[in-house]
Amino acid sequence: MASRATVERWLTELTNLPTASGLEDAVVSWVTRWVSRRDDLVLRTDSGGNLIITQKGRKRRAPVLAVAHMDHPAFVIQDSDGSFEFRGHVDPPYFQSALIDVVSRLDGPPGRVTSYDPETQRGKAHFEADVRAGDIAMWRLHSNQQKEGLFRAPACDDLAGAAAALAALDRARDRPELRHYGVMLTRAEEVGLIGAIHAVKHQTIPANARLLSIEMSRELPTAAIGEGPIVRIGDRSTVFDRELSNRIARAADRAEIRFQRKLMDGGGCEATAFGVYDYQATGLCLALGNWHNRGNLAQVEAGDHDAAVAMLEEISIDDFHGLVDLLLAAAAAVDEPDLIRETLDHLYEENRHYLG
């Protein structure tokens, strides 16, 4: 089982990889190498490029898959003239004269956005050296003031989720009762949950699988960084599987894992897609600072685009390790009985005489 320091190294390596919807190659390569060093794991790729990692050996229980996506909002260069498509969601004011850097190659040049159309999410940037189609660029990220206990990186959303899912899998390998736990890493989430939808439409996922959709979700006043991982009962679109969420929360209580139980309606996540297509799914997440690398909007709207406009995303490192613990507790608890129904049945039998 990997040490805490090793897991944090995986977290650092993954969250600093260049990635964009449809261009997740660097992440795929990292994960492929990670799996190849473990002969008790199997990696397969579906027709949409989603990765599914499972443990070898006979399983006595229906599968549990922790799901995270491999992309992050980014500029994708379309032509050597600096034309780009932005894949993901960031408010239009952030693009005005923004400084950006090509991150998909070591000699990637800096540039500045000269035009952007929020309707098409396309625009143009002037670069100080040649660019080529397929280059990935990001905002010029400013390192916010260091605070003890926080982890900062360009792409916590959702590569920190991928790191947590893999760290839990590394630990599950030493527990035969968790052989049913696996990981699915999806593509193109930031442009509409496309990898997840592909997986359900093409039957990548077994019909009896229980899905734990992991996200780094925008911090809310009621869901703070540092207060523990979150059992996410819903997003801005819908609520997730009631009993699966209940089982996980009870398991976290028993294991004395510090956690939060929240409706995180600041964005959407893949559990929505899984539920719509009749899979049993719920969400787990961490509260995320500087979601999608967004800095101070007031500075942006005032025209101060060379200030701390784009920021490293940030999470609590203790929340991250708590999420790994929560994933393992969840995998162990998914088949527990419906205790709420049992309680209600008991209450009814004890007190139905009041009805006459």
Please state the pTM of the whole predicted model.
Answer: 0.94
Instruction: Dump strand ranges (E) for the chain.
Output: 41-45, 51-55, 64-69, 74-77, 83-87, 99-102, 110-117, 122-127, 136-139, 141-142, 150-153, 181-186, 210-218, 230-234, 260-263, 280-288, 310-311, 313-316
- CATH architecture assignment, domain 4-72+146-340: 3-Layer(aba) Sandwich (3.40)
Residue extents of the structural domains in the chain = 4-72+146-340, 74-142
74-142: CATH topology: Elongation Factor Tu (Ef-tu); domain 3 (2.40.30)
How far apart are the C-alpha atoms of 95 and 98, rounded to whole Å? Answer: 5
In this structure, what is the dihedral angle of CA atoms 295, 217, 287, 231, given to the nearest 10 degrees? 170
Tokens of 1: 């089982």
pLDDT at position 294 is 86
Confidence band (pLDDT; 50, 70, 90) for 307? low
Residue 134 has pLDDT above 80, yes or no: yes
Residue pLDDT, tens place only, 221-267: 999 999 999 999 999 999 999 999 999 999 999 999 999 999 999 88
